Structure 1
Amino acid sequence: MKQVKTLLLATVLFIGTQFATAQTKVGHINVQDLMTANPAMKAAEAQLKKLQDTYDAEYKKMVQEYQTKLAQYQQDAEAKTVTDAVNETRSQEMQDMGARIQKYQDTASKDLQQKSIELQKPIMEKAQAAIQKVARAKGIQYVLDSTTGSGVLLADGTDLLVDVKKELGY
């Protein structure tokens, strides 16, 4: 009798767990694909590329100037046409130029990163709002990112990508 009660209790718990699990709906979306297809993201990337090209051109110009002066100063120093004081002044100038180039590169990198965040934040917020709206409309309580490498091993549930693209208008 005790075994029957235990078996009955285990069966009820198993069925209750299955019923509770069946009520939870999980969906997935490949956020990377969503962002790649987003026209606003493509425009943001083009704007970032243009800014990066501007920084790169200025950086190359600075490096070229540095290399030209370095070659000239080395030639003068080797020919002993200038005094040690002039050579030391030139050496300090080259160090200062190198430091300015490094600072410019660091500043440009930070500016690009900040601009990227500034451009992508509203796009991501809009996409997240659309994902939430579609998920709620479909009665889905959890949405996983199924982008490769995100940790989702199986994505056989409801895929929201098409519906979210439609919600966003692309």
Structure 2
Amino acid sequence: MKKFFTGMLFALGLMVAGEVNAQTKIGYISSQEVVSIMPEARKADSLLTDFKNALIQNATDKQNAFYAAIDKFNKDSATLSDAVKVVKRTELTKMGQELGGEEERIQQQLQQKQQELIQPINRKAYEAIQAVAKEHNYAFVFEKEALLVAPPAEDILPLVAKKLNIKLPTAAGGNQPAAKPTTPKQ
């Protein structure tokens, strides 16, 4: 009797697990693709390009001022006293050192600006993915690029795009989401 009862509990457990498994919806999405189709991302790219161009122009202006100061020093050096020459050389050396670190400063400023611009876009995409998962009863949503092997799932990109009121690019653009794999019914 004890074996029968244990067997019945085991069978009941398998049936419940099978029911839970059959009802578990799994989806996947490329969050990079979601962000790339968002209009905010194109605007951020444009703003970042403008910012980069402004930084480069500023660096170019500093470089031109440095070269002009060197030329002026070279022209005026015959009439300058030794003490003034030492001061001017020190100033030129300092300008040259500052100019040498300009590329690193530009990269740091660009990275900071990029983070500032992309963070709200990533947050909006994440919230849309969360909302779609909840609305459509997805128990799991995986990052498409992160998994090598996964159980059958659905690409939820079209649902997220609809949630964000974004029209997906056509197949001619090459960004058409992959066809949904069929999920075997149990």
Structure 1 counterpart of 2:139: 141
3-state SS, counterpart of residue 141 of structure 1: strand
Unaligned runs of 5+ residues in structure 1 are 1-5
Higher RCO by CA contacts (8 Å cutoff, separation 6 or greater) = 1
Structure with greater proportional helix content: 1
CA distance 1:62–1:7, change in 2 (3 Å): same
CA distance 1:63–1:12, change in 2 (3 Å): same
Does residue 159 (structure 1) correspond to residue 151 (structure 2)? The answer is no
CA deviations over 1:49-99 (Å, ceiling 9, x no partner): 11111111010111122234335546777xx76554333222211222134
Look up the equivalent residue of 1:160 and give its one-letter code: I
Unaligned runs of 5+ residues in structure 2 are 1-5, 167-186
What is the TM-score normalised by the length of structure 2?
0.68
Partner Cα separation in structure 2 for residue 164 and residue 16 of structure 1 = 31
What is the TM-score normalised by the length of structure 1?
0.73
Structure 2 counterpart of 1:67: 67
Look up the equivalent residue of 2:115 and give its one-letter code: I
Partner Cα separation in structure 2 for residue 36 and residue 89 of structure 1 = 53
Partner Cα separation in structure 1 for residue 95 and residue 11 of structure 2 = 78
2:116 to 112, 115, 118: 118
CA RMSD of aligned residues (A): 3.5
Partner Cα separation in structure 2 for residue 71 and residue 7 of structure 1 = 95
Look up the equivalent residue of 1:49 and give its one-letter code: T
